[in-house]
Amino acid sequence: MTKGYYDYYDGSRIFVFLSTRIGLPLDLVNFLIAQVAALCLARLFRKPLRFASAEFRHTVCLVIGLIMGYFCFGKQSIHLSILPMLSYTLFKTLPHHIMGNVVLAASITYLSCLHLHRQIYHTADYTLDITGPLMVITQRVTSLAYSVQDNLTKKEINSNTMGHSSDIQFSKVEKIPSPLEYFAYTLAFQTLMCGPVVFYSDYINFIEGARVDGNEKSNDVEPSPRLAVLYKMAGSLAAALLYLTLAKKYPLVVLEELTDPTSEVSKTWSAIYLLWYAYLSTLVVRCKYYHAWLLSEAICNNCGMGFNGYDEDGSPKWDKMSNIDVWGFELSQNFRTAVASWNKNTNAWLRGVAYERGGAAWRTARVYALSAVWHGFHPGYYLTFFAGGLFTVAARKIRSVARPMFLDSWLKKFFYDSLSFITTRVAMTYATVPFVLLHLAPSLAFYGRFYYSLHFIALGALLIPENRTKRPPLAKQSSELAPTSSIINKKELPQKDSNVELNGKIKTS
């Protein structure tokens, strides 16, 4: 470890010996220890604490979250308290009709300051950074702010002014939470480290014992999450093993050599091989996300969060706190489906705070702009989100014109699906390389090797007139308008009980 590494990382040094022994950076060792501990502690909420009072369950979530934050981040963990306290002060003092917008602006500004601080003063010597949990906390406080705003202003604002208020997925919150409820929600240990974002109504239903079908846990036997936990732990372990297998064979730093015209990468690699290498390098990076997100989902399920009713076969579904659909992303046949399968609860958050909160003309632009700022200020983020927004709109236009031509026979349909799959893999790799390279020079050098061809193709596709001869059903149109959303139409929700709406508005499968 370099001296700079310990200068910048403030987390616990207790397990330095383990870090040295296994060859992993200390920050990642601390992260894994914290998540494994959370997985074990989560079981308390299904057994000894199942029928404990709501106040005690809130307190346990909060205390473990604070201890975990200090263990992983040391003195930097003060930010985990400052941002929620700032937001709660705004909750108590702001007029209701502007609460959401102001809390969003304040939270993003605070988060942006820390993003800039790390970008300017810190190196890339460590992975675990306080901005990760703060990104999740920002999602929680802003979604809660808009939920409170929507409920407290519903009688004051004309329905025409609300525009798409009926489609906004955040469940209405009757009142501003108490301090214990609020801080336990924002700092709950189950999802503090890497999400997924849990919306307030789902968290309260978990704490107070509500089920998605409106019944109480005390009167009904909740299905065991054991199989779901084991399945997600196995997936997380498989992703970690795949990462360890491929990381040394396809290091991402090789792509940075594109800035050197005398390097082997610049002189001898063909564009096809470069694209293949970039695909495998970005797959390695995705495996880290798969590992962390699947482990986090297992933690949620192990404590009883994430139960989402039953499927048609009567099997329990534990996918409400799902952040990633691995196969949906890796095997997607269009750009919109790929985006919707990635970081799904963040897509739900973006829909609620950006997509549905303004005019229809710039919906996609608002979503990608907010997502870029939320991630930080490395130029690679903005190159990726610009390409992502451009490709999403272009792909929708091409699909509306081209797809009907291939539906009259199974052979044509198979050809179209195969071509769509390959095209999506190429476009996704091309768009996401800057996201993982971060810096401007190697990102532009990568695009330059392809002469920005996919950008020009997408810009040309924008000139294609809309195909209005065969319009899809209304529900399908609504789904395609929101490329970053994984929310189901409200008509798909069961209507047996009015309590369903609290816990069933958001579906992330």
Contacts with 181 (C-beta within 8 Å, 6 or more apart), sequence order: 58, 204
Nearest of 304, 274, 303, 307 to residue 429 by alpha carbon? 274
Distance CA 479, CA 484 (A): 9
**Dist. CA 37–CA 367, nearest whole Å:** 35
Q: What is the C-alpha to C-alpha distance for residues 331 and 344, in angstroms, rounded to an integer?
A: 16
Residue with tokens 């893999």: 425
Q: CB pairs under 8 A, 24+ apart, for 450-453?
A: 450/271, 450/275
- With the CA atoms of 444, 449, 450 and 456 taken in that order, what torsion angle do they form, in degrees rounded to the nearest 10? 40
Question: Which residue among the candidates 30, 343, 345, 347 is catalytic per the annotation?
Answer: 343
Annotated catalytic residue 323: no
Tell me how far apart the alpha carbons of residues 200 and 60 are, in angstroms, rounded to a whole number. 17
Among this protein's residues, is 115 annotated catalytic?
Answer: no
Q: Please answer whether residues 463 and 321 qualify as being in contact, where contact means their C-beta atoms are separated by less than 8 angstroms.
A: no
φ, ψ at 211 (rounded to 5°): -110, 160
Q: Before 196, cis peptide (omega within 30)?
A: yes
- Cross-strand partners of 316: 310
Catalytic position from the list 375, 378, 455, 503: 375
Q: What is the distance between the alpha carbons of residues 205 and 501, in angstroms, rounded to a whole number?
A: 11
Query: Which amino acids are annotated catalytic?
Result: 343, 375
